Structure 1
Protein backbone atom coordinates (compact mmCIF):
# COMPACT_ATOMS: atom_id res chain seq x y z
CA UNK A 1 0.00 0.00 0.00
CA UNK A 2 1.23 3.45 -0.92
CA UNK A 3 1.05 5.42 2.32
CA UNK A 4 1.35 8.96 1.03
CA UNK A 5 -1.79 11.02 1.60
CA UNK A 6 -3.99 8.31 3.11
CA UNK A 7 -5.57 8.36 6.58
CA UNK A 8 -4.85 6.13 9.58
CA UNK A 9 -6.39 5.76 13.02
CA UNK A 10 -4.18 4.62 15.92
CA UNK A 11 -5.94 3.58 19.12
CA UNK A 12 -3.97 4.12 22.31
CA UNK A 13 -2.00 6.52 20.17
CA UNK A 14 -1.01 9.11 22.77
CA UNK A 15 1.94 7.19 24.24
CA UNK A 16 4.15 4.13 23.97
CA UNK A 17 3.78 1.86 20.95
CA UNK A 18 0.82 3.83 19.64
CA UNK A 19 2.60 7.18 19.75
CA UNK A 20 5.68 5.77 18.01
CA UNK A 21 3.44 4.33 15.29
CA UNK A 22 1.52 7.58 14.87
CA UNK A 23 4.79 9.50 14.44
CA UNK A 24 6.22 7.02 11.93
CA UNK A 25 3.02 6.95 9.89
CA UNK A 26 3.01 10.76 9.79
CA UNK A 27 6.66 10.80 8.65
CA UNK A 28 5.60 8.58 5.77
CA UNK A 29 2.95 10.99 4.58
CA UNK A 30 -0.07 9.55 6.40
CA UNK A 31 -2.76 11.74 7.98
CA UNK A 32 -3.09 10.28 11.48
CA UNK A 33 -6.05 10.26 13.83
CA UNK A 34 -5.38 9.34 17.46
CA UNK A 35 -7.80 7.63 19.86
CA UNK A 36 -6.83 7.80 23.53
CA UNK A 37 -8.20 8.60 26.97
CA UNK A 38 -5.32 10.98 27.75
CA UNK A 39 -6.60 14.19 26.20
CA UNK A 40 -3.54 16.29 27.06
CA UNK A 41 -0.99 13.94 25.49
CA UNK A 42 -3.25 13.01 22.61
CA UNK A 43 -3.91 16.60 21.57
CA UNK A 44 -0.22 17.50 21.91
CA UNK A 45 0.86 14.63 19.69
CA UNK A 46 -1.85 15.36 17.14
CA UNK A 47 -0.61 18.95 16.94
CA UNK A 48 3.00 17.76 16.62
CA UNK A 49 2.29 15.48 13.66
CA UNK A 50 -0.46 17.53 12.02
CA UNK A 51 -3.13 14.97 12.79
CA UNK A 52 -6.34 14.85 14.79
CA UNK A 53 -7.34 13.59 18.23
CA UNK A 54 -10.50 12.05 19.65
CA UNK A 55 -10.98 11.10 23.28
CA UNK A 56 -12.16 7.50 23.06
CA UNK A 57 -12.76 4.69 25.52
CA UNK A 58 -12.67 1.55 23.37
CA UNK A 59 -15.08 -0.23 25.74
CA UNK A 60 -17.79 2.27 24.75
CA UNK A 61 -19.56 1.81 21.42
CA UNK A 62 -20.78 5.39 21.61
CA UNK A 63 -17.22 6.67 22.10
CA UNK A 64 -15.83 4.58 19.26
CA UNK A 65 -18.58 5.67 16.84
CA UNK A 66 -18.08 9.32 17.78
CA UNK A 67 -14.30 8.99 17.51
CA UNK A 68 -14.37 7.54 14.00
CA UNK A 69 -16.91 10.16 12.93
CA UNK A 70 -14.73 13.00 14.26
CA UNK A 71 -11.52 11.75 12.66
CA UNK A 72 -13.20 11.02 9.34
CA UNK A 73 -14.76 14.49 9.27
CA UNK A 74 -11.30 16.06 9.65
CA UNK A 75 -9.01 13.66 7.78
CA UNK A 76 -11.22 11.45 5.64
CA UNK A 77 -12.04 7.74 5.84
CA UNK A 78 -9.10 5.77 7.20
CA UNK A 79 -7.40 3.06 5.15
CA UNK A 80 -5.22 1.99 8.10
CA UNK A 81 -6.23 1.03 11.63
CA UNK A 82 -3.57 0.23 14.24
CA UNK A 83 -4.98 -1.07 17.54
CA UNK A 84 -2.61 -0.25 20.40
CA UNK A 85 -5.14 0.52 23.15
CA UNK A 86 -4.76 -1.96 25.99
CA UNK A 87 -3.89 -2.59 29.61
CA UNK A 88 -3.22 -5.42 32.04
CA UNK A 89 -3.12 -6.55 35.63
CA UNK A 90 -1.28 -9.15 37.69
CA UNK A 91 -3.57 -11.29 39.86
CA UNK A 92 -3.37 -15.03 40.49
CA UNK A 93 -6.37 -17.20 39.66
CA UNK A 94 -6.55 -18.19 43.33
CA UNK A 95 -4.05 -17.43 46.07
CA UNK A 96 -3.34 -17.99 49.74
CA UNK A 97 -2.14 -15.30 52.14
CA UNK A 98 1.11 -16.62 53.62
CA UNK A 99 0.51 -14.97 56.99
CA UNK A 100 -3.21 -15.45 57.57
CA UNK A 101 -3.91 -18.44 55.34
CA UNK A 102 -6.87 -16.60 53.78
CA UNK A 103 -7.75 -17.87 50.31
CA UNK A 104 -8.85 -15.46 47.62
CA UNK A 105 -9.81 -15.86 43.96
CA UNK A 106 -9.37 -13.53 40.99
CA UNK A 107 -12.08 -10.82 41.17
CA UNK A 108 -14.18 -11.56 38.10
CA UNK A 109 -14.97 -7.90 37.43
CA UNK A 110 -11.24 -7.21 37.06
CA UNK A 111 -10.88 -10.19 34.71
CA UNK A 112 -13.79 -8.99 32.62
CA UNK A 113 -12.40 -5.44 32.41
CA UNK A 114 -9.19 -6.64 30.75
CA UNK A 115 -11.20 -8.69 28.25
CA UNK A 116 -13.45 -5.71 27.55
CA UNK A 117 -10.52 -3.40 26.83
CA UNK A 118 -7.96 -5.63 25.13
CA UNK A 119 -10.13 -8.09 23.23
CA UNK A 120 -13.64 -6.70 22.78
CA UNK A 121 -12.36 -3.14 22.44
CA UNK A 122 -9.97 -4.25 19.71
CA UNK A 123 -12.71 -6.14 17.88
CA UNK A 124 -15.11 -3.20 18.20
CA UNK A 125 -12.63 -0.89 16.49
CA UNK A 126 -11.85 -3.49 13.82
CA UNK A 127 -15.50 -3.99 12.91
CA UNK A 128 -16.29 -0.27 12.79
CA UNK A 129 -13.16 0.58 10.81
CA UNK A 130 -13.58 -2.29 8.35
CA UNK A 131 -17.16 -1.20 7.62
CA UNK A 132 -15.83 2.27 6.80
CA UNK A 133 -13.02 0.92 4.62
CA UNK A 134 -15.54 -1.07 2.61
CA UNK A 135 -17.03 2.21 1.31
CA UNK A 136 -13.73 3.11 -0.39
CA UNK A 137 -12.57 2.32 -3.89
CA UNK A 138 -9.52 0.02 -3.97
CA UNK A 139 -6.11 1.53 -4.61
CA UNK A 140 -3.64 -0.91 -6.19
CA UNK A 141 -5.97 -3.76 -5.25
CA UNK A 142 -6.41 -2.76 -1.59
CA UNK A 143 -9.02 -0.97 0.45
CA UNK A 144 -7.30 -1.09 3.82
CA UNK A 145 -5.01 -2.62 6.41
CA UNK A 146 -5.72 -3.46 10.05
CA UNK A 147 -2.93 -4.11 12.56
CA UNK A 148 -3.60 -5.38 16.08
CA UNK A 149 -1.40 -5.55 19.15
CA UNK A 150 -1.28 -8.77 21.15
CA UNK A 151 1.69 -9.79 23.34
CA UNK A 152 4.12 -12.65 23.81
CA UNK A 153 1.95 -13.33 26.87
CA UNK A 154 -0.61 -14.70 24.41
CA UNK A 155 1.72 -17.69 24.02
CA UNK A 156 3.77 -17.80 27.24
CA UNK A 157 1.94 -15.86 29.91
CA UNK A 158 3.48 -15.55 33.34
CA UNK A 159 2.12 -16.03 36.85
CA UNK A 160 -0.73 -13.60 37.44
CA UNK A 161 -1.36 -12.98 33.73
CA UNK A 162 -4.47 -15.12 33.22
CA UNK A 163 -6.70 -12.22 32.18
CA UNK A 164 -4.01 -10.46 30.14
CA UNK A 165 -2.96 -13.67 28.37
CA UNK A 166 -6.57 -14.60 27.68
CA UNK A 167 -7.27 -11.20 26.15
CA UNK A 168 -4.15 -11.19 24.00
CA UNK A 169 -4.61 -14.82 23.05
CA UNK A 170 -8.06 -13.85 21.84
CA UNK A 171 -6.57 -11.15 19.63
CA UNK A 172 -4.20 -13.71 18.10
CA UNK A 173 -7.00 -16.23 17.68
CA UNK A 174 -9.30 -13.86 15.81
CA UNK A 175 -6.66 -12.50 13.41
CA UNK A 176 -6.92 -15.19 10.73
CA UNK A 177 -10.73 -15.48 10.81
CA UNK A 178 -11.07 -11.72 10.44
CA UNK A 179 -8.51 -11.69 7.61
CA UNK A 180 -10.64 -14.35 5.91
CA UNK A 181 -13.86 -12.42 6.62
CA UNK A 182 -12.44 -9.32 4.94
CA UNK A 183 -10.44 -10.94 2.14
CA UNK A 184 -13.07 -10.38 -0.55
CA UNK A 185 -13.27 -6.74 0.53
CA UNK A 186 -9.51 -6.36 -0.07
CA UNK A 187 -8.73 -5.53 3.57
CA UNK A 188 -5.69 -7.17 5.18
CA UNK A 189 -5.39 -8.01 8.91
CA UNK A 190 -2.25 -8.79 10.92
CA UNK A 191 -1.19 -8.85 14.57
CA UNK A 192 2.08 -7.99 16.32
CA UNK A 193 3.06 -9.78 19.54
CA UNK A 194 5.55 -7.46 21.30
CA UNK A 195 7.93 -8.72 23.95
CA UNK A 196 9.34 -6.47 26.68
CA UNK A 197 9.30 -2.91 25.36
CA UNK A 198 10.48 0.35 26.90
CA UNK A 199 7.04 1.93 27.17
CA UNK A 200 5.47 4.16 29.87
CA UNK A 201 4.52 1.02 31.80
CA UNK A 202 8.22 0.36 32.42
CA UNK A 203 9.72 3.83 32.32
CA UNK A 204 8.93 4.41 35.99
CA UNK A 205 10.60 1.17 37.07
CA UNK A 206 13.99 1.24 38.82
CA UNK A 207 16.98 0.86 36.51
CA UNK A 208 17.90 -2.45 38.19
CA UNK A 209 14.50 -3.86 37.33
CA UNK A 210 14.74 -2.72 33.73
CA UNK A 211 18.26 -4.14 33.45
CA UNK A 212 17.08 -7.48 34.80
CA UNK A 213 14.25 -7.60 32.27
CA UNK A 214 16.59 -6.66 29.43
CA UNK A 215 18.99 -9.44 30.44
CA UNK A 216 16.24 -12.01 29.81
CA UNK A 217 16.17 -11.14 26.11
CA UNK A 218 18.55 -13.43 24.15
CA UNK A 219 19.50 -11.06 21.33
CA UNK A 220 19.67 -8.13 21.46
CA UNK A 221 19.76 -8.16 25.27
CA UNK A 222 17.80 -4.98 25.83
CA UNK A 223 14.26 -3.70 26.00
CA UNK A 224 12.45 -3.18 22.72
CA UNK A 225 12.23 0.32 21.30
CA UNK A 226 8.70 1.47 20.40
CA UNK A 227 10.09 2.67 17.07
CA UNK A 228 10.88 -0.97 16.25
CA UNK A 229 7.22 -1.85 16.72
CA UNK A 230 6.29 1.10 14.50
CA UNK A 231 8.71 -0.08 11.80
CA UNK A 232 7.06 -3.49 11.68
CA UNK A 233 3.62 -1.87 11.52
CA UNK A 234 4.76 0.23 8.55
CA UNK A 235 6.05 -2.88 6.74
CA UNK A 236 2.74 -4.66 7.37
CA UNK A 237 1.01 -1.71 5.72
CA UNK A 238 3.34 -1.52 2.73
CA UNK A 239 3.70 -5.21 1.95
CA UNK A 240 0.56 -6.29 0.13
CA UNK A 241 1.22 -10.01 0.65
CA UNK A 242 1.41 -9.66 4.43
CA UNK A 243 -1.97 -10.98 5.60
CA UNK A 244 -3.47 -13.14 8.34
CA UNK A 245 -0.21 -13.26 10.31
CA UNK A 246 0.65 -13.12 14.02
CA UNK A 247 4.27 -12.02 14.39
CA UNK A 248 6.37 -12.01 17.56
CA UNK A 249 8.67 -9.02 17.98
CA UNK A 250 10.64 -10.00 21.05
CA UNK A 251 14.39 -10.57 20.57
CA UNK A 252 13.72 -14.35 20.80
CA UNK A 253 12.56 -14.20 24.40
CA UNK A 254 10.37 -16.96 25.82
CA UNK A 255 8.89 -15.75 29.07
CA UNK A 256 9.69 -17.66 32.26
CA UNK A 257 6.83 -18.55 34.65
CA UNK A 258 7.72 -15.54 36.82
Structure 2
Protein backbone atom coordinates (compact mmCIF):
# COMPACT_ATOMS: atom_id res chain seq x y z
CA UNK A 1 0.00 0.00 0.00
CA UNK A 2 1.27 3.50 -0.80
CA UNK A 3 2.18 5.99 1.92
CA UNK A 4 -0.94 8.00 1.07
CA UNK A 5 -3.07 4.87 1.38
CA UNK A 6 -1.58 4.08 4.78
CA UNK A 7 -2.74 7.47 6.01
CA UNK A 8 -6.36 6.36 6.14
CA UNK A 9 -6.10 2.93 7.79
CA UNK A 10 -6.79 2.48 11.49
CA UNK A 11 -3.74 3.67 13.39
CA UNK A 12 -2.48 5.42 10.26
CA UNK A 13 -1.18 8.93 9.77
CA UNK A 14 -4.63 10.55 9.70
CA UNK A 15 -5.63 9.08 13.05
CA UNK A 16 -2.28 10.08 14.56
CA UNK A 17 -2.65 13.66 13.31
CA UNK A 18 -6.19 13.92 14.69
CA UNK A 19 -5.05 12.57 18.05
CA UNK A 20 -2.16 15.02 18.19
CA UNK A 21 -4.42 17.94 17.24
CA UNK A 22 -6.82 17.00 20.04
CA UNK A 23 -3.95 16.77 22.51
CA UNK A 24 -2.42 20.10 21.47
CA UNK A 25 -5.49 22.27 20.91
CA UNK A 26 -8.38 20.41 22.51
CA UNK A 27 -11.10 18.12 21.23
CA UNK A 28 -13.12 20.95 19.68
CA UNK A 29 -10.25 21.86 17.38
CA UNK A 30 -9.97 18.34 15.98
CA UNK A 31 -13.71 18.07 15.34
CA UNK A 32 -13.42 20.31 12.28
CA UNK A 33 -10.86 18.00 10.59
CA UNK A 34 -8.96 20.72 8.73
CA UNK A 35 -5.86 18.74 7.86
CA UNK A 36 -3.28 18.77 5.09
CA UNK A 37 -1.09 15.66 5.01
CA UNK A 38 1.89 15.94 2.68
CA UNK A 39 3.75 12.74 1.82
CA UNK A 40 6.91 12.22 -0.27
CA UNK A 41 6.65 10.90 -3.80
CA UNK A 42 9.09 8.13 -2.90
CA UNK A 43 8.36 6.05 0.19
CA UNK A 44 10.81 6.81 2.98
CA UNK A 45 12.16 9.99 1.40
CA UNK A 46 12.88 12.93 3.70
CA UNK A 47 10.75 15.98 2.97
CA UNK A 48 12.09 18.07 5.85
CA UNK A 49 14.59 20.10 3.85
CA UNK A 50 14.32 23.75 2.74
CA UNK A 51 13.04 23.08 -0.78
CA UNK A 52 10.31 20.71 0.41
CA UNK A 53 9.34 23.00 3.29
CA UNK A 54 8.99 25.91 0.85
CA UNK A 55 6.73 23.73 -1.29
CA UNK A 56 4.78 22.88 1.87
CA UNK A 57 4.43 26.61 2.55
CA UNK A 58 3.04 27.23 -0.94
CA UNK A 59 0.54 24.38 -0.52
CA UNK A 60 -0.68 25.63 2.85
CA UNK A 61 -0.92 29.23 1.65
CA UNK A 62 -3.12 28.08 -1.22
CA UNK A 63 -5.24 26.00 1.16
CA UNK A 64 -5.73 28.86 3.63
CA UNK A 65 -6.85 31.20 0.86
CA UNK A 66 -9.66 28.98 -0.44
CA UNK A 67 -13.09 30.60 -0.28
CA UNK A 68 -16.56 29.12 -0.73
CA UNK A 69 -19.57 31.14 -1.81
CA UNK A 70 -22.74 29.77 -0.23
CA UNK A 71 -26.08 31.34 0.73
CA UNK A 72 -24.93 34.67 -0.73
CA UNK A 73 -21.99 34.71 1.69
CA UNK A 74 -18.31 34.18 0.95
CA UNK A 75 -16.80 31.89 3.60
CA UNK A 76 -13.09 31.78 4.43
CA UNK A 77 -11.00 29.47 6.58
CA UNK A 78 -11.05 32.10 9.34
CA UNK A 79 -14.83 31.66 9.55
CA UNK A 80 -14.61 27.99 10.56
CA UNK A 81 -11.13 27.41 11.98
CA UNK A 82 -10.08 27.07 15.61
CA UNK A 83 -8.50 30.23 17.03
CA UNK A 84 -7.59 31.42 20.49
CA UNK A 85 -10.37 33.10 22.43
CA UNK A 86 -9.50 36.68 23.27
CA UNK A 87 -10.84 38.91 26.05
CA UNK A 88 -13.58 41.36 25.13
CA UNK A 89 -12.33 44.84 25.94
CA UNK A 90 -15.63 46.61 25.16
CA UNK A 91 -13.70 48.95 22.88
CA UNK A 92 -14.93 48.48 19.33
CA UNK A 93 -11.75 49.60 17.58
CA UNK A 94 -9.49 47.47 19.78
CA UNK A 95 -11.77 44.43 19.51
CA UNK A 96 -11.71 44.79 15.72
CA UNK A 97 -7.91 44.79 15.75
CA UNK A 98 -7.75 41.56 17.75
CA UNK A 99 -10.45 39.93 15.66
CA UNK A 100 -8.37 40.65 12.57
CA UNK A 101 -4.96 39.75 13.94
CA UNK A 102 -5.65 36.58 15.98
CA UNK A 103 -4.95 33.80 13.46
CA UNK A 104 -6.26 30.32 12.93
CA UNK A 105 -4.27 27.84 15.00
CA UNK A 106 -2.08 26.01 12.49
CA UNK A 107 0.30 23.25 13.58
CA UNK A 108 3.07 22.71 11.05
CA UNK A 109 6.85 22.20 10.94
CA UNK A 110 6.93 25.68 9.39
CA UNK A 111 6.31 27.04 12.90
CA UNK A 112 10.01 26.39 13.51
CA UNK A 113 10.81 29.07 10.93
CA UNK A 114 9.89 32.69 10.31
CA UNK A 115 8.07 31.60 7.15
CA UNK A 116 5.40 30.05 9.35
CA UNK A 117 4.16 33.60 9.95
CA UNK A 118 3.22 33.88 6.27
CA UNK A 119 0.31 31.53 6.91
CA UNK A 120 -1.21 33.66 9.66
CA UNK A 121 -2.05 36.86 7.81
CA UNK A 122 -4.08 38.85 8.38
CA UNK A 123 -5.12 39.27 4.76
CA UNK A 124 -5.20 43.03 5.22
CA UNK A 125 -2.42 44.54 7.37
CA UNK A 126 -3.64 46.07 10.62
CA UNK A 127 -2.74 49.49 11.96
CA UNK A 128 -1.88 49.43 15.67
CA UNK A 129 -2.30 52.80 17.40
CA UNK A 130 0.75 54.27 19.09
CA UNK A 131 3.46 52.46 17.13
CA UNK A 132 6.51 54.52 16.27
CA UNK A 133 6.87 53.13 12.77
CA UNK A 134 3.19 53.66 11.87
CA UNK A 135 3.65 50.60 9.68
CA UNK A 136 0.61 48.29 9.42
CA UNK A 137 1.39 44.88 10.83
CA UNK A 138 1.00 41.28 9.82
CA UNK A 139 2.49 38.30 11.61
CA UNK A 140 5.51 38.52 9.30
CA UNK A 141 6.60 41.73 11.06
CA UNK A 142 4.68 41.61 14.34
CA UNK A 143 6.46 41.45 17.67
CA UNK A 144 3.55 41.28 20.15
CA UNK A 145 5.56 42.03 23.31
CA UNK A 146 7.30 45.02 21.73
CA UNK A 147 3.94 46.25 20.46
CA UNK A 148 2.43 45.97 23.93
CA UNK A 149 5.33 47.89 25.47
CA UNK A 150 4.88 50.66 22.89
CA UNK A 151 1.14 50.88 23.53
CA UNK A 152 1.69 51.05 27.30
CA UNK A 153 3.63 54.28 26.77
CA UNK A 154 0.48 55.97 25.52
CA UNK A 155 -1.64 57.82 28.00
CA UNK A 156 -5.09 56.41 27.42
CA UNK A 157 -7.36 54.20 29.45
CA UNK A 158 -6.93 50.57 28.51
CA UNK A 159 -6.77 47.35 30.58
CA UNK A 160 -3.16 46.58 29.68
CA UNK A 161 -2.85 44.18 32.63
CA UNK A 162 -5.68 42.05 31.22
CA UNK A 163 -3.99 41.93 27.83
CA UNK A 164 -0.59 41.20 29.36
CA UNK A 165 -2.00 38.33 31.44
CA UNK A 166 -3.76 36.93 28.37
CA UNK A 167 -0.53 36.99 26.37
CA UNK A 168 1.35 35.24 29.15
CA UNK A 169 -1.27 32.49 29.42
CA UNK A 170 -1.28 32.01 25.64
CA UNK A 171 2.52 31.94 25.48
CA UNK A 172 2.60 34.93 23.13
CA UNK A 173 6.03 36.59 23.18
CA UNK A 174 7.90 37.99 20.19
CA UNK A 175 6.01 36.10 17.50
CA UNK A 176 8.22 34.77 14.71
CA UNK A 177 10.80 37.55 14.86
CA UNK A 178 13.54 35.44 16.47
CA UNK A 179 13.03 32.29 14.41
CA UNK A 180 15.41 31.34 11.58
CA UNK A 181 14.37 31.94 7.99
CA UNK A 182 14.13 29.15 5.44
CA UNK A 183 15.20 31.79 2.95
CA UNK A 184 17.44 34.33 4.73
CA UNK A 185 17.70 36.31 1.47
CA UNK A 186 13.98 37.11 1.61
CA UNK A 187 13.79 40.92 2.00
CA UNK A 188 11.12 40.46 4.67
CA UNK A 189 13.22 38.04 6.73
CA UNK A 190 13.65 40.05 9.96
CA UNK A 191 17.02 41.33 11.08
CA UNK A 192 16.40 39.57 14.38
CA UNK A 193 16.35 36.15 12.69
CA UNK A 194 19.40 34.21 13.96
CA UNK A 195 20.53 33.34 10.42
CA UNK A 196 19.85 36.68 8.74
CA UNK A 197 23.53 37.63 8.72
CA UNK A 198 24.96 34.20 8.00
CA UNK A 199 22.40 33.60 5.21
CA UNK A 200 22.41 29.90 6.12
CA UNK A 201 19.55 27.66 7.21
CA UNK A 202 20.16 26.38 10.72
CA UNK A 203 20.63 22.61 11.00
CA UNK A 204 19.28 22.81 14.52
CA UNK A 205 16.05 24.36 13.25
CA UNK A 206 15.73 21.61 10.65
CA UNK A 207 16.09 19.03 13.42
CA UNK A 208 13.37 20.85 15.37
CA UNK A 209 11.08 20.67 12.33
CA UNK A 210 11.84 16.96 12.03
CA UNK A 211 11.00 16.49 15.70
CA UNK A 212 7.64 18.22 15.27
CA UNK A 213 6.76 16.21 12.19
CA UNK A 214 7.42 13.09 14.22
CA UNK A 215 4.66 14.11 16.60
CA UNK A 216 6.86 15.25 19.49
CA UNK A 217 7.20 19.02 19.10
CA UNK A 218 8.14 21.36 21.88
CA UNK A 219 5.35 23.68 22.94
CA UNK A 220 7.08 26.60 21.30
CA UNK A 221 6.42 25.15 17.87
CA UNK A 222 2.65 25.35 18.25
CA UNK A 223 1.00 28.25 16.51
CA UNK A 224 -0.81 29.51 19.63
CA UNK A 225 2.62 30.02 21.20
CA UNK A 226 3.91 33.07 19.38
TM-score, scaled relative to structure 1: 0.27
> As a proportion of its length, which structure holds more strand?
1
Structure of greater relative contact order (alpha carbons < 8 Å, 6+ residues apart): 1
TM-score, scaled relative to structure 2: 0.29
> As a proportion of its length, which structure holds more helix?
1
